[in-house]
């Protein structure tokens, strides 16, 4: 358990209070399916473009690395990365949700490999 203390200290130093929980989180992709219902509407449709506030291409997230997805969601949550719909969605996710979702999507294969 020495490791989790180090992670805790590191996380707390890096991002302040909210990150303190991160040390206890074990990603569980099996818990993800009912958490990603709201994502599928945008991210599950090839070529779909969000219409608000602008015409945005919605990125495919299946097959991305879990670290990348987690970092992106945390960036939206903190406001470091800005996009109105994603910021609203990320803000509603707990650290556990983000870990589960990231693990789930990283296990998928990219829908249209090129
Ligand atoms: C309303 C449509 C919509 C919904 C619903 C939605 N997203 Fe997104 N998402 C987007 C758009 C548009 C972007 C690209 C925004 C940008 O340019 O930063 C994006 C970006 C992302 C990214 C960054 C991808 C990259 O390549 O950098 C991740 C990760 C992500 N979304 C995860 C999720 C997850 C997980 C959910 C469900 C909890 C979700 N999104 C729900 C529209 C949506």
Instruction: Tell me if 3 is assigned to some domain.
Output: no
Domain assignment of residue 15, yes or no: no
Enclosing domain of residue 99:
25-106
- pLDDT tens per residue, range 80-98: 999 999 999 999 999 999 9
> For residue 108, what pLDDT band results from cuts at 50, 70 and 90?
confident
State the DSSP string of 31-78.
G-TTTSHHHHHHHTSTT-EE-SSS-EEPPP-TTS-HHHHHHHHHHHHH
Q: Which residue has the higher pLDDT, 56 or 83?
A: 83
Q: Which of 86, 99, 107 to mutate to test the pocket of ligand 1 (most atoms within 8 A of CB)?
A: 86
- Looking at residue 17, the DSSP 8-state letter turns out to be G
Q: What is the domain count for the chain?
A: 1
Given a contact cutoff of 8 angstroms between Cβ atoms, the answer to whether 15 and 31 are in contact is no
pLDDT of residue 10: 47
**Which atom of ligand 1 approaches the CA of 76 most closely?**
18
- Residue 91 belongs to what H/E stretch? helix 84-91
Residues 59-78: tens digit of each pLDDT: 888 889 999 999 999 999 99
């Amino acid at each position: 358990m020495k490791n989790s203390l180090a992670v805790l200290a590191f996380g707390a130093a890096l991002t302040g209070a909210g990150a303190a929980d991160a040390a206890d989180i074990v990603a569980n992709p099996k818990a993800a399916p009912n958490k990603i219902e709201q994502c599928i509407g945008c991210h599950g449709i090839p070529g779909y473009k969000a219409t608000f506030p602008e015409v945005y291409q919605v990125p495919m997230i299946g097959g991305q690395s879990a670290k990348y997805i987690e970092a992106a969601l945390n960036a939206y949550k903190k406001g470091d990365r800005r996009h109105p719909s994603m910021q609203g969605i990320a803000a509603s996710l707990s650290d556990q949700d983000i870990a589960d979702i990231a693990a789930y999507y990283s296990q998928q294969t990219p829908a249209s490999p090129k």
